[in-house]
Amino acid sequence: MAIDYQSLKNWPIPDQLSRYTREDCIRYALSLGYGEDPLDAEDLPFVYEQGLRAVPSMVTVLGAPGAWATDPGTGIDWMRILHGEHRTVLHGSLPPEGCLRSRTRVTAVVDKGQGRGALVVTTREVSDEATGRLLATIEHTSFCRADGGFGPGDDAPAALPAVPAEPADTTVQLRTVPSAALLYRLNGDRNPIHADPAAARSAGFERPILHGLCTYGMAVRAVLRACCGNRPERLGSFSLRFSAPFIPGETLAVEIWRRGAQVQFRASALERGQAVLTHGLAAVHGA
């Protein structure tokens, strides 16, 4: 079945309610590598209940709409979907515990042409269920490799800028352990390609790969540390493009360019010299 533009654009995605605890908050931070050095006072507020802070990117795993694209009625060949880009605007700080309501809708369906695939963009609004306060707006772009050629669709989202040509202002290196994906999957994404070697091989990978949203959270960690004094309330937005898989056990090297309130970044697997996150763009509040 091919994509039907109008049907997919109006695809109903149920609201999600997500209750989470301080323990969930700490587990998420640990899965990004926080607390690797138990004597690091800058990491401690994210992994210790006294004065606990939530990593802003935790909002990406709370209230996610689930595997709605696996429904045959969407016309999407879901086995060939890649996570293309992820853009988050933060309207307020995420509490370290609470209940969130997420409303997701399909906002763009882009035909790149026969044999070139399609882009499907969803927009998710995440609010505090108790107060109704909007906390984040998340735009998720899926590259549907097998689904181009369905006909007229929407324009693609505005392109994220490439990083500057000059050397980065700073680089943050974040080590991972070989079991990193097994820990991160406890946040809710149980896709077997992150745990089962056979499943990973059937998807075309030599071994299980790390979740894209884990590397996303690690890049948030790097920018928080380098540009925000580890104060989550100072991060206003965070966007990037996924460009290659990252293997648990590798080191993520995050290059950062700071231009006032605008931060650009790129992240690579240090040992392979392979860029895995590109076109990174963040907004930072305050000095």
Report d(CA 239, CA 163) in Å as an integer: 13
Residues found in the chain: 287
Residue 142, beta-bridge partner list:
83, 120
154 in catalytic set: no
Report d(CA 90, CA 233) in Å as an integer: 9
Report d(CA 26, CA 28) in Å as an integer: 5
Q: What is the DSSP letter of 11?
A: -
Buried b / exposed e across 269-287, counting CB within 10 Å, b at 16+?
beeeeebbbbbbbbbbeee
Residue 241, beta-bridge partner list:
85, 278
Whether 174 contacts 109, CB under 8 Å: no
- Pick the closest to residue 97 from 24, 163, 33, 41 (CA basis): 24
Catalytic one among 86, 140, 194, 211?
194
138 in catalytic set: no
212 in catalytic set: yes
Whether 197 contacts 273, CB under 8 Å: no
Catalytic one among 3, 76, 209, 256?
209
Alpha helix segments (H runs only) across the chain: 5-9, 22-31, 180-184, 197-202, 212-227
189 in catalytic set: yes
Catalytic one among 128, 154, 169, 189?
189
Q: What is the DSSP letter of 287?
A: -
Catalytic one among 63, 117, 212, 280?
212
- Pick the closest to residue 246 from 223, 275, 219, 204 (CA basis): 275
| 95: helix, strand or coil | coil
Q: What is the DSSP letter of 88?
A: E
Report d(CA 73, CA 283) in Å as an integer: 38
Enumerate the active-site residues.
Answer: 189, 194, 209, 212
